[in-house]
């Protein structure tokens, strides 16, 4: 039977031990119970987050939504032949218990991952790994519940899209697929599957005989205990940062600019995996404190709660570590820990139309205004939520916008349409493509336009250093980015359909002239929205101020901001004086939160 708990204290369910509560909490022990949960209003009407052992996450605030946890148990084996067997474990089983079970039953393959905290369900999501072995090496298939179709589906290891501490479950699958069970393809033997990792090679050499899986598991527990904090004394999330993978050309450039030879080992033909622990240590951050949070002195990859840390302490310390490493080595460390925060932080990078304000050659009083709020670069925005930074439209002015905001990381790009004043800055995304293809979401028409206008970015063998992209063509149906639900809103830009986006209770729409009733329905319940309002005089493809106010009045958000102005709209303070109480003119650099 499913029970929903209100204002549940989650502190003991996370390994950080930072105080946090959830508005709603529920556990499920079967697909039937999970199906019942997904039909409940508390699931349908709230942000939903799934936790396992709570070992790889940091709640920045109390969670204003529903937290779910698997209680699906059970471990079974199926022997295929004298050498091979399959082990199937419920998502709610502890990972360390599963490893111990396989070792006790003389089944090899998981022993190198002994003592990793967390539940089995998190293993394929995170592609957990240690001492030369990752989940991708042993996972055969993953059984999931699809929250959109409400059916059970199964993914092969290939379909999981495994990468370094990554999988499709952290991207397009997050929020949609809930792991129920994981099947592993293992070996019926006491002989270890992998002794390639340095400390294990040395251990085997000193042992004087080929170690058993029991000896390897015990040695790994000993090594981990010597490096990692006792969870009963110091809360942590294990390794806080990923080891960065850097292109060899960029690595050589870093060494020339910094004079530092950076440690790492080859990954593929053109990249090197760099030791994040070495970077942090050599940036002088070992032992650094921020409130009750500290960079662990025995292992600088770990941030610990010394007993009274707040989530803000941990976040600030992590940002300080990233800043110091970036300043000294020009490498940005990405957290392995998931930041959980339902707050949506929005920054309007630009609020001008295609010519910007001031317009070139114009001597009108608006273009000649000395006030900063009347200087408007081409329209774009940043959205930060759940630890992610999303860019909406790389305008031709993106470079100066990014420098103004001190922007150094983007997780994905949402494109509204392919007109140059919204995508002309695509080439300036080079810094965000240094070690991977940057994910871009857009409609089919714009995808084709980008591939034509920026052809050099999409060649099979692109010129070194050009930005490269992982293109996702979307329609009007919702999709997920790292668990965050994105709802496209189709609007008409004259005769052309383009996209706006709804994220939680925030909506962003630009270049609209009309919005169909069925698309307006998607905006029901929006708290804060940004909407274009070109000028007072009619335009064939943009809302006038009057038309924009009519749409806002129909949607009735708590707060609305206007954007995509030309100089005819007047000066900022003049426009503000003639707007309703819940409507304000946006301006470049405006930042606000939506909760």
18-47 average pLDDT score: 92
| pLDDT tens per residue, range 324-337 | 999 999 888 988 88
Residue 565 pLDDT? 97
> How far is 24 from 259, CA to CA, in rounded Å?
52
Mean pLDDT, range 52-74, rounded to an integer: 90
| Dihedral, 209, 212, 214, 219 alpha carbons, nearest 10 | 50
Determine the average pLDDT of the residues in 513-538.
97
Give whichever of 190-199, 223-232, 552-561 has the largest mean pLDDT.
552-561
Q: Strand pairing of 528-532 and 559-563?
A: parallel
Cis preceding-peptide flag for 95 (omega within 30 of 0)? no
CA atoms within 13 A on the CB side of 216: 35
Check pLDDT > 90 for residue 560: yes
pLDDT band at 452 (very low <50, low <70, confident <90, very high): very high
Overall average pLDDT of the 424-428 stretch: 97
Name the pLDDT band for 1 (thresholds 50, 70, 90): confident
User: Which strands sit side by side in the sheet containing 302-305, from one edge to the other?
Assistant: 235-239, 302-305, 293-295, 289-290
- For residue 241, CA distances in Å to 244, 274, 280, 385 come to 9, 12, 10, 19
Q: How confident is the model at residue 394 (pLDDT cuts 50, 70, 90)?
A: very high
Find the range with the poorest average confidence among 320-334, 561-575, 576-590. Answer: 320-334
Tokens of 221: 């527990």
The pLDDT-based confidence of 46 (bands split at 50, 70, 90) is confident
Q: What's the Cα-to-Cα distance from 332 to each of 119, 126, 322, 335, 410, rounded to whole Å?
A: 29, 20, 6, 10, 11
Give the confidence band of 22 by pLDDT, cuts at 50, 70, 90. very high
**What pLDDT is attached to residue 536?**
97
DSSP 294: E
- Quote the pLDDT of residue 268: 74
Structure confidence by residue, pLDDT tens digits, 398-422: 999 999 999 988 999 999 999 999 9
Calpha distance 63→10 (Å, rounded): 10
Q: From CA 372, how far away is CA 147, in angstroms rounded?
A: 47
Q: Does 64 score more than 80 pLDDT?
A: yes
How far apart (Å, rounded) are the C-alpha atoms in residues 15 and 20? Answer: 12
d(CA 560, CA 9): 34
- In total, the chain counts a number of residues equal to 595
Q: Which residue has the tokens 């002994």?
A: 114
Q: Which pLDDT score is estimated for 195?
A: 85
List active site positions: 165, 239, 336
pLDDT, tens digit, 9 for 90 and up, residues 255-295: 888 888 887 888 877 788 899 999 999 999 999 999 999 99
Q: Cα separation of 172 and 484, whole Å?
A: 9
Confidence of residue 513 (pLDDT cuts 50, 70, 90): very high
Contact yes or no for 442/392 (Cβ under 8 A):
no
């Amino acid at each position: 039977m499913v029970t929903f708990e209100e204002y549940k204290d989650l502190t003991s369910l996370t390994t950080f031990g930072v105080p946090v509560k959830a508005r709603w909490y529920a556990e499920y022990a079967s697909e039937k119970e999970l199906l019942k949960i997904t039909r409940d209003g508390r699931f349908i009407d709230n942000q939903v987050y799934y936790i396992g052992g709570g070992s790889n996450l940091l709640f920045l605030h109390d969670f204003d939504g529903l937290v779910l946890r698997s209680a699906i148990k059970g471990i079974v084996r199926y022997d295929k032949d004298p050498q091979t067997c399959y082990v199937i474990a419920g998502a709610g089983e502890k990972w360390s218990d599963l490893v111990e079970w396989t070792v006790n039953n003389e089944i090899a393959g998981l022993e190198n991952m002994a003592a990793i905290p967390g539940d089995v369900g998190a293993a394929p999501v995170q592609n957990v790994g240690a001492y030369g072995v990752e989940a991708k090496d042993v996972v055969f298939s993953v059984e999931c519940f699809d929250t959109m179709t409400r059916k059970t589906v199964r993914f092969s290891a290939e379909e999981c899209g495994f990468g370094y501490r990554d999988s499709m479950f952290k991207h397009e699958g997050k929020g949609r697929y809930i792991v129920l069970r994981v099947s592993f393809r293992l070996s019926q033997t006491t002989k270890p599957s992998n002794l390639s990792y340095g400390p294990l090679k040395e251990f085997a050499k000193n042992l004087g005989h080929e170690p058993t899986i029991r000896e390897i598991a015990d040695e790994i527990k000993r090594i981990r205990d010597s490096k990692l904090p006792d969870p009963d004394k110091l809360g942590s999330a294990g390794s806080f940062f990923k080891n960065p993978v850097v292109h060899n050309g960029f690595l050589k450039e870093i060494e020339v600019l910094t004079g530092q030879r950076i440690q790492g080992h080859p990954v593929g033909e053109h990249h090197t995996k760099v030791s994040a622990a070495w970077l942090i240590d050599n940036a002088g951050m070992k032992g650094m404190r921020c409130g009750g949070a500290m960079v662990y002195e025995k292992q600088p990859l770990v941030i610990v709660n010394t007993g009274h840390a707040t989530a803000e302490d941990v976040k600030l310390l992590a940002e300080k570590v990233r800043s110091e490493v970036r300043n000294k080595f020009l490498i940005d460390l990405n957290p392995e820990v998931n930041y959980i925060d339902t707050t949506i932080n929005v920054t309007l990078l630009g609020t001008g139309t295609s010519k910007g304000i001031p317009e070139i050659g114009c001597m009108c009083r608006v273009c000649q205004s000395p006030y900063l709020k009347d200087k408007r670069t081409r329209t774009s925005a940043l959205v930060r939520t759940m630890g992610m930074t999303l860019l909406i439209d790389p305008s031709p002015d993106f470079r100066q916008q990014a420098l103004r905001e001190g922007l150094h990381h983007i997780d994905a790009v949402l494109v509204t349409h392919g007109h140059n004043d919204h995508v002309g800055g695509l080439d300036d995304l080079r810094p965000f493509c240094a070690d991977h293809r940057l994910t871009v979401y857009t409609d089919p028409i714009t995808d084709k336009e980008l591939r034509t206008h920026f052809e050099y970015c999409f060649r099979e063998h692109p010129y070194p250093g050009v930005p490269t992209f992982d293109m996702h063509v979307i329609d009007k149906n919702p999709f997920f980015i790292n668990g965050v639900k994105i709802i496209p809103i189709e609007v008409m830009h004259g005769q052309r359909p383009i996209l706006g986006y709804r994220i939680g209770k925030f909506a962003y729409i630009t270049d609209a002239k009309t919005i169909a009733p069925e698309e307006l329905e998607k905006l029901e319940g929006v708290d804060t929205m940004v909407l274009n309002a070109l000028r007072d005089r009619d335009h064939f493809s943009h809302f006038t101020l009057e038309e924009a106010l009519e749409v806002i009045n129909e949607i009735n958000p708590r707060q609305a901001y206007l954007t995509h102005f030309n100089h005819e709209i007047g000066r900022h303070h003049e426009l503000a004086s003639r707007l309703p109480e819940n409507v304000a003119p946006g301006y470049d650099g405006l930042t606000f939160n939506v909760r």
